Chains A and B, each alone.
Chain A
Amino acid sequence: MSHGPDKEYEQLRVSGLHAFYGESHILHGIDMVVHRGELVTLLGRNGAGRTTTLKAIMNMVGRRTGSIMINGEETMSCAPHHIARLGVGYCPEHRGIFSSLNVQENLTLPPVVRSGGMSLEEIYTMFPNLYERRFSQGTKLSGGEQQMLAMARILRTGANMLLLDEITEGLAPVIVETLGEVLVALKKKGLTIVLAEQNFHFAASLADRHYVLEYGQIVEEINSHELSSKRTLLDHYLCV
């Protein structure tokens, strides 16, 4: 089934989100909306708050205030495992491949949270490398293979909203290209994707919309068709 974003259905609505690590105040009132089937990126420099935004949605930061609605349900008081069970698949920046588990164990670790996830066969068809190395220790894979594994792991669970943190970081261009193809395929399946990304060129060709973060706030929202007109502005926010 292939369809565009459903503008009527708000899969994620974040309002006035503040987040803290101990004494440090990281997010200063994030407001964002992601519709079903959309691919939205969080752009910004290092330390702008992209990773923290994703972690805050998962309730994995110290303290949060504000509101996070998933499928119309308020989740501020939910434990992380309840959030995952709302159909959220989280792929952390450090990939989180478990070294004491082999590839297949890593792949089958996250419990299925919704029906409609990919089967192990479909995943191995999409990522043939993982099939070849399914009995290797998870952390013995190359960086690119580990990233594939981290992505594949949440596809099996049936999650329909993916939070992907810096999936292209430190990977060879050819791997980045493959990841791009995977994202296109997932978008075609109707999955909602929030992508924290530093590699703007990767994000630009894939996303429907971009949120630009600076100092823990969203400073700009750019639709994909506005990219060329707002190029100078973007460069101002993203260039070091």
Chain B
Amino acid sequence: MSMVFGVPLAVLSGQLMIGIINGAFYALLSLGLAVIFGLLKIINFAHGAMYMLGALVTVVLFDLLSVNYWVALFVAPVLVGAFGLLIEYFLLRRIAGQDHIYSLLLTFGAALIIQGVLTNIYGVSGLRYSMPDMFKGGINLGFMFLPYYRAWVIVVALLVCFGTWFIIEKTKLGSYLRAGTEDSQLMQGFGINAPLLVSLTYGFGVMLAAFAGVLAAPIYSITPVMGSNILIVVFAVVVIGGMGSIGGAIITGILMGVIEGLTKTFYPPASSAVIFLVMVVVLMIRPTGLFGKEA
């Protein structure tokens, strides 16, 4: 069997695959955080909870109404996104313009409440969601085995990331978003309904998180705390990429997943710390992050 730096190729490519999968989730989540931070200037600590809700709603819809995976992929983000709109309208809007710390505490509190209530109902042992039949199995690429579902996750996550980037950077709607990020009051002075744009942006960011949650449902253990576990890493990814940078969030997300995977292969004890190590180094060299604009 071929070896790379003393590691079997199959092991290396397997870990690399897991790294890219994790990176795809990091990218989807940090993308939503970056979009929300850009326009609302809030650090959405409820983002992990929204990801968890996406996965949980998928399971519950299946158990109660036998809603299949494909429908859930669409319906769960819409439901969770609508829930996000309510949070924005009834909570976040009231503290708009206040110091960051308020929105941070508010979203953190909201996340804890959502998580606590659902832990009461579902416990923390983890729910199961069986993979759709068409994704069972995989393909042998010669040097590694690629499960169909993982390939699907990578492809669809990249498509969604690219689509979001395209909308924001290349379309009229995106120019509203970019301009609103710089000066939403002036935008409103031009006749654009900025408060509505803010609500929809929050709802869209939340939908991205919930979408990631649906994708995660068949492969990760679904518990009410799954969001808070991944959120800390995602925050590190956002900081490394540069707050508010859309492309930066996507690239950094995937990159960090890969770095994590490689570390798992070559020096497993450091694998859970490596992202934070990268964060420290990046912040020392470029305080605004890899893709952040100079302040």
Q: Are A113 and B191 in contact (CB under 8 A)?
A: yes
Measured CB to CB, the closest approach of chain B to A88, in angstroms, equals 8
- The verdict on A180 contacting chain B, using a C-beta distance below 8 Å, is no
Q: Given B176, B178, B185, which contacts A80 in the complex, CB threshold below 8 Å?
A: B185
Report how far A96 CA is from B182 CA in the complex, Å: 9
What string of 1s and 0s marks CB contacts (under 8 Å) between A77-89 and chain B? 0011101110000
Q: Looking at chain B's contact residues, is the secondary structure mostly helix, strand, loop, or mixed?
A: helix
Report how far A85 CA is from B181 CA in the complex, Å: 22
Count of interface residues, chain B, beta-carbon cutoff 8 Å: 19
Q: Which of A5-13, A39-47, A104-112, A231-239 lies at the interface? A: A104-112
Report how far A84 CA is from B190 CA in the complex, Å: 6
B169 closest partner in A (C-beta): A100
Give the chain B neighbours of A99 by CB distance below 8 A. 182
B177 closest partner in A (C-beta): A100
- The verdict on B63 contacting chain A, using a C-beta distance below 8 Å, is no
Give the contacts of A32-91 with B (CB-CB under 8 A).
Answer: 58, 60, 79-81, 83-85, 90
Report how far A87 CA is from B183 CA in the complex, Å: 21
Q: Looking at chain A's contact residues, is the secondary structure mostly helix, strand, loop, or mixed?
A: loop
Report how far A113 CA is from B192 CA in the complex, Å: 10
Report how far A90 CA is from B194 CA in the complex, Å: 16
Q: Are A85 and B182 in contact (CB under 8 A)?
A: no
- The verdict on B195 contacting chain A, using a C-beta distance below 8 Å, is yes
What string of 1s and 0s marks CB contacts (under 8 Å) between A138-175 and chain B? 00000000000000011001000000000000000000
What string of 1s and 0s marks CB contacts (under 8 Å) between B104-136 and chain A? 000000000000000000000000000000000
Q: Are B182 and A98 in contact (CB under 8 A)?
A: yes
Known: A79-B195, A101-B175, A105-B175. Is A110-B190 also a contact (CB below 8 A)?
yes
Q: Are B185 and A109 in contact (CB under 8 A)?
A: no
Q: Are A109 and B194 in contact (CB under 8 A)?
A: no
Give the chain B neighbours of A58 by CB distance below 8 A. 189
Give the chain A neighbours of B185 by CB distance below 8 A. 60, 80
Known: A92-B186, A96-B186, A98-B183. Is A157-B178 also a contact (CB below 8 A)?
no
Measured CB to CB, the closest approach of chain A to B167, in angstroms, equals 14
Give the chain B neighbours of A100 by CB distance below 8 A. 178-179, 181-182
What string of 1s and 0s marks CB contacts (under 8 Å) between B180-213 and chain A? 0111011111111111000000000000000000
Q: Are A109 and B179 in contact (CB under 8 A)?
A: yes
Measured CB to CB, the closest approach of chain B to A170, in angstroms, equals 19
Give the chain A neighbours of B192 by CB distance below 8 A. 81, 110-111
Report how far A48 CA is from B195 CA in the complex, Å: 31
Report how far A58 CA is from B192 CA in the complex, Å: 13
Measured CB to CB, the closest approach of chain A to B44, in angstroms, equals 21
Q: Given A79, A105, A108, A157, which contacts B188 in the complex, CB threshold below 8 Å?
A: A79
Q: Are B183 and A109 in contact (CB under 8 A)?
A: no
Q: Are B175 and A81 in contact (CB under 8 A)?
A: no
9 A-B residue pairings within 8 Å (CB atoms): A60-B185, A79-B193, A81-B192, A81-B194, A84-B190, A96-B186, A98-B182, A101-B178, A157-B191
Seen from chain A, the residues whose Cβ lies within 8 Å of a Cβ on chain B are 58, 60, 79-81, 83-85, 90, 92, 96, 98-101, 105, 108-111, 113, 153-154, 157
Seen from chain B, the residues whose Cβ lies within 8 Å of a Cβ on chain A are 172, 175-176, 178-179, 181-183, 185-195
